[in-house]
């Protein structure tokens, strides 16, 4: 992975330490960042990067602050990348669809919180168009490759944000997560992907995928940085009617649940790698229990195989009608399936979802944390082109249920398979259990 060569360690804490010691200034960081972006060339990570002038103006603004003010800002001078379905004032929002482009006058709620905490918003990153996909290849702006190379997909839809962090361009990036878009790219690039509880981080200024399920997610290289960023982002958003106040459960991590009968699509190397991680985690837990994975998969199937796909159409139907040739065929196919479901279908699915939520509540009454593979297998970009829909569904097998069941999750890197592919696992817990999950990740998964 690339780092900030000769300047400072790339994480939030490393930057803050260097700034406090006077060995680094935000203006130096801006220059180094622009050089690294230029060196990587056309890597498919960025859709728009703020101009050098804009970034230096922000750096000068930060450097002009009194020392006491700087010390009070947890992200002072920290460069952050933002997925291009999240508004950043003065930079175009495209959602990876050029015909959809508009330039907002104000930041999204999450962006405002970052800026108020001292962050430098660097630019807008690539994504699967309209955040519809988990592979990172559904964009007219290119398809990012995983930092592991070998033509491996970057994962999506938050592809550019994940690669920007994994490649050492920025220490923090914002993504979104409806079906796993903040976790699948983390797994494919060996970084941390934190998916907060729905509504914990405001979603105002975010182009909706499924408005009732969308979350703003966080990519970092380590768990402590993820916790720091979440502390900045969490809180009421008066412009988001789905915003909620946190009611965290106790932070215990003693009882660990494992699913039975996992399906790795015949990927024996990935199955073996997960088994090693699970055994290590079990050795650190006070107690372990086994649960069936069937209800999780059933809930997840409601997202793309059930009437929740109609929620995507509810947002984009007028745009699709007005711009019939401006949306990628695979994206259009997925979204337009929403017209196949009736109101009766929606209510029946909602009734079943409530039953599945009761099942999940019973699970987390017995267990503190559920450990899952983030993805069952990996694919190359060529393999995704050959089967774009079926293989995309495989990627979401163990992520798609989370928001429907109103759960929190954190995806963490867990080494590699015997043949060198990235392995990621996800820790899942009840709503507002982010602190519990971060602690569990550090205790149970980190070697």
State the catalytic residues.
83, 157, 181
Give the C-alpha separation, 384 to 402, whole Å: 24
Q: Which of 442, 369, 375 lies closest to 409 in space, CA to CA? A: 369
Q: Which of 319, 445, 439 lies closest to 374 in space, CA to CA? A: 445
**Strands (DSSP E) found in 67-204:** 79-83, 120-125, 172-177, 192-195
Sheet with 369-373: list strands edge to edge: 46-49, 120-125, 79-83, 172-177, 215-220, 192-195, 407-416, 422-430, 369-373, 255-260, 287-292
Write the DSSP assignment of 289-321 as a string of letters: EEEESHHHHHHHHHHHHSTTHHHHHHHHHHHHH
79-83 vs 172-177, strand pairing mode: parallel
Give the C-alpha separation, 407 to 410, whole Å: 10
Structure tokens that stand for 302 in this block: 């409601």
120-125 vs 255-260, strand pairing mode: unpaired
Give the distance, in angstroms, between the CA of residue 198 and the centroid of all CA atoms in the same chain: 13
Dmax over Cα atoms in the chain, in whole Å?
A: 63
**Strands (DSSP E) found in 32-117:** 46-49, 79-83
Give the C-alpha separation, 92 to 82, whole Å: 12
**Strands (DSSP E) found in 251-301:** 255-260, 287-292
- How many angstroms separate the Cα of 186 from the Cα of each of 228, 240, 254? 18, 26, 25
């Amino acid at each position: 992975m690339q780092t900030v060569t000769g300047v400072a360690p790339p994480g939030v804490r490393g930057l803050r330490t260097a700034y406090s010691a006077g060995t680094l200034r935000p203006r130096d960081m801006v220059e180094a960042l622009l050089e690294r972006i230029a060196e990587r060339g056309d890597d498919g990570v960025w859709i728009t990067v703020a101009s050098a002038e804009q970034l230096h103006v922000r750096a000068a603004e930060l450097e002009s602050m009194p020392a006491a003010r700087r010390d009070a800002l947890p992200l002072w001078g920290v460069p952050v990348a933002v997925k291009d379905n999240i508004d950043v004032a003065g930079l175009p929002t495209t959602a990876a669809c050029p015909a959809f482009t508009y330039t907002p006058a104000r930041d999204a709620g999450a962006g405002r919180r970052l800026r108020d905490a001292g962050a430098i918003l660097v630019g807008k990153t690539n994504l699967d168009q309209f955040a519809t996909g988990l592979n990172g290849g559904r964009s007219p702006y290119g398809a990012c490759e995983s930092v592991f190379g070998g033509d491996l997909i970057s994962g999506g839809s938050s592809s550019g944000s994940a690669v920007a962090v994994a490649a050492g361009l920025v220490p923090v990036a914002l993504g979104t997560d409806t079906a796993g878009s903040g976790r699948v790219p983390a797994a494919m690039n060996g970084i941390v992907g934190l998916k907060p509880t729905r509504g914990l981080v405001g979603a105002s200024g975010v182009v909706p995928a499924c408005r009732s399920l969308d979350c703003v997610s966080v990519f970092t290289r380590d768990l402590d940085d993820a916790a720091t960023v979440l502390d900045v982002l969490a809180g009421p958003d008066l412009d988001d009617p789905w915003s909620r106040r946190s009611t965290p459960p106790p932070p215990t991590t003693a009882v660990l649940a494992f699913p039975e009968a996992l399906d790795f699509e015949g990927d024996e190397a990935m199955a073996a790698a997960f088994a090693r991680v699970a055994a290590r985690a079990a050795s650190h837990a006070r107690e372990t229990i086994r649960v069936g994975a069937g209800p999780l998969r059933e809930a997840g199937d409601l997202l793309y195989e059930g009437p929740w796909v109609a929620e995507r159409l509810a947002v984009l139907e007028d745009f699709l009608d007005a711009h019939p040739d401006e949306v990628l065929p695979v994206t259009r196919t997925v979204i337009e399936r929403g017209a196949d479901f009736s109101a009766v279908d929606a209510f029946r699915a909602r009734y079943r979802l409530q039953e599945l939520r009761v099942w999940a509540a019973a699970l987390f009454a017995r267990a503190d944390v559920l450990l899952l593979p983030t993805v069952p297998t990996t694919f190359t970009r060529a393999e995704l082109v050959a089967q774009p829909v079926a293989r995309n569904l495989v990627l979401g097998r163990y992520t798609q249920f989370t928001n429907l069941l109103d759960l929190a999750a954190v995806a963490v890197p867990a080494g590699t398979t015997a043949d060198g592919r990235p392995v990621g696992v996800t820790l899942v817990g009840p709503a507002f259990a982010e602190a519990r999950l971060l602690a569990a990740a550090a205790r149970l998964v980190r070697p």
